[in-house]
Amino acid sequence: MSKKAILGHVFHAPVKGEFEHLVNACIEFDELGKISQVVTPDQHDYQSIVQKHQEQNTLTTLSDSQYLFPGLVDLHTHAPQWPQSGKGLDLPLFDWLNQYTFPLESKYKDADFRERFYPELVDTLIAHGTTTAMYFATIDNAASEYLAKVCKQKGQRALIGKVSMDEKSMCPDYYVEKSTEIALSDAEAFIQNIIAIDDKNGLVHPVVTPRFVPTCSTELLAGLGKLVQHYQCHVQTHASESDWARDFSHEKYQKTDVEIYHETQLLTRRTVLAHSIFLSESDKHTIKEVGAGIAHCPLSNMYFADAAFPLREAIDQDLHVGLGSDLSGGPIPSIFHACLDAVSHSRVREAGTNTHLMQNRGEPNTRVSFVEAFWMATHGGGLTLDLPIGVFQPGYLFDAIVVDTNAKHSQVRVYSDLDSPRDILEKIIVHTTEPAISSVWVNGNKVK
C-alpha cells in the first residue's frame, strides 16, 4: 500500500471554460498511479493526510514558484517526421509530402535510423510536458513496434499506430503497402504485438491508422473497420484537412470523410479525427452521436489546411476536442504552444484577414479563450481518448507536470503583487518553454 502524495499549488480544468486554482493542495495516488484523493487546507482531514505522508517520507512538496498541472495530451503527432520538424514549410503540401515526408518516413525500416530518432523524439515530448501522445508511426511494423517499446521504456503514455496505406495510385512506389491483404494482416499483427508489449500496464495502446482516404483502398478501410470492431482499439486518421482532401472523397465516393469512416465502422468512441476542417452539420451530428473526437492542430492548419477549423462551434456543441502538435506539419513540439496558437488562430478567424472587405470580413464570436485552450490540452484530450487523464480527481491517473517559473532559462515571469491566479495561468500557457518544465510524471512515475 505504498501511496505517494504531492503538495503544492495546482492548476487544472475540471469544467470546460473554467479553471481551478488550488493553493497547497495535496494529491495522493496509489502504486498504479491512480489518484485516491485531492485535499485542500480547508478540509478537515488535510493536516492528517499531509502529516502521514511526511512521516512515511512519501510526500513531494513543491515550492511557491512551482505549479502543478495535469500532463499535456498531444492528440496528433507524426513520430517519424521529427527530424524534419521546422523545415520545408515553405512548400505546398503535395511537394512537402513527396520531397520531404514520404522519403523520410520510408527510412524507418532501417533499424539504425529509427534508433537514432525515436528515442530523441520521445525524450523531447516528455521534456515539453507531453505525458500522453497519439502517434502516427510508419507503414513498417517493426519500426512502429520499436516506437511503442521506446515509449514504454521511457514511461510515456502512448497511443501508436502503424500507418495503413495501400493505394498505389496515391503513394510513391517506395512507400506503399504491397497489397491490401498484407496491409490488413500487418495491421492486425501490430495490434496483437502492442497488446503484448503493453503487458496490461495501460501505458501503450495500439491504434488502427488509415493515413487518410486518398491513400487507402476501399477494401482496406472496410477491413480496418472490422479489426477495430474485433479489438475495440483506438482509431486515428485525417479527416477533411484541406480543400483537396475534401474534394477527393467527394469525387471518389460522393461522401464526406466522416461518412466514409462511419460506414466502414472506423468511427467509434475511440476515434480521433485530425483536423476535420470541413465538416457538414450532418458530420458533426454523427461525430457527436458516436462520441468520436477531433484533434485540433492550429499551427499545422495555418500552413496546410486552407481554412480555420470551426473550433468555437465544436466546443459549444460539446464535441470531444483536444489539441495536437501535428509534428512536423506543425513544427513546435509543445502543447502549451498549441494553446497559444489555438487562441491566436481563433482570433484571426473571428476578425478575418482581408483588409479590402469592410464588412463580413470574419466570423463574429468565434474566439476561444486561453482557459478553453488549456482545457483542451488536458481534460479535453483525455475525454477525446476515453482515458482517465487530464484532471486531478479521484479515479484519474496521476499524469502531471511541474512548471517552475524560477527554473534557469524559464521565460515565465510571475510577480505576486501584480498577477492574479488567472494571470499566472495565462502567463504559464504563453511563456512556458522546455526548461521551465522541471518534473513530469506518468502513471505516478517520475519520467523527467
Least gap, CB of 105 to a second copy (angstroms): 13
- Residue closer to a second copy by CB (options 1, 358) is 358
Q: Take residue 342 and report the three cell numbers written for it.
A: 489555438
Least gap, CB of 154 to a second copy (angstroms): 18
On whether the CB atoms of residues 434 and 127 are closer than 8 A, the answer is yes
- Residue closer to a second copy by CB (options 329, 382) is 329
Task: Quickly list H helices, 128-179.
Answer: 141-154
d(CA 41, CA 393): 16
CA nearest 6: which of 273, 402, 281, 329?
Answer: 402
- Residue closer to a second copy by CB (options 295, 305) is 305
Least gap, CB of 322 to a second copy (angstroms): 20
CA 296, 321, 353: angle at the middle one, nearest 5?
40
Least gap, CB of 299 to a second copy (angstroms): 7
- Residue closer to a second copy by CB (options 98, 411) is 411
CA atoms within 13 A on the CB side of 126: 24
d(CA 127, CA 221): 36
- Residue closer to a second copy by CB (options 1, 418) is 418
On whether the CB atoms of residues 35 and 393 are closer than 8 A, the answer is yes
CA atoms within 13 A on the CB side of 112: 0
Least gap, CB of 338 to a second copy (angstroms): 13
- Residue closer to a second copy by CB (options 200, 409) is 409
Non-local CB neighbours of 359 within 8 Å, separated by 6+ positions: none
DSSP 8-state symbol, 100 = I
Least gap, CB of 247 to a second copy (angstroms): 10
- Residue closer to a second copy by CB (options 60, 344) is 344
How many Cβ atoms from other residues are within 10 Å of residue 358's Cβ? 7
d(CA 133, CA 74): 5
- Residue closer to a second copy by CB (options 162, 337) is 337
How many Cβ atoms from other residues are within 10 Å of residue 285's Cβ? 13
Least gap, CB of 361 to a second copy (angstroms): 6
Least gap, CB of 440 to a second copy (angstroms): 15
Angle, helices 141-154 vs 111-127, to 10°: value is 40
Q: Is 92 exposed, middle or buried (0-12, 13-18, 19+ CB in 10 A)?
A: exposed
- Residue closer to a second copy by CB (options 34, 431) is 431
Least gap, CB of 3 to a second copy (angstroms): 34
Least gap, CB of 245 to a second copy (angstroms): 13
Amino acid identity for residue 128 in this structure: H
- Residue closer to a second copy by CB (options 263, 434) is 434
- Transcribe 264-307 into DSSP letters: TT---TTEEEEE--S--HHHHHHHHHHT-EEEE-HHHHHHHSSS
Q: Is 244 exposed, middle or buried (0-12, 13-18, 19+ CB in 10 A)?
A: exposed
- Residues near a second copy (CB under 8 A) are 83-90, 120, 124, 277-278, 299, 302-303, 305-310, 331-333, 343-345, 347-349, 351-355, 361-363, 369-371, 409, 411-413, 415, 418-419, 422-423, 426-427, 429-431, 433-435
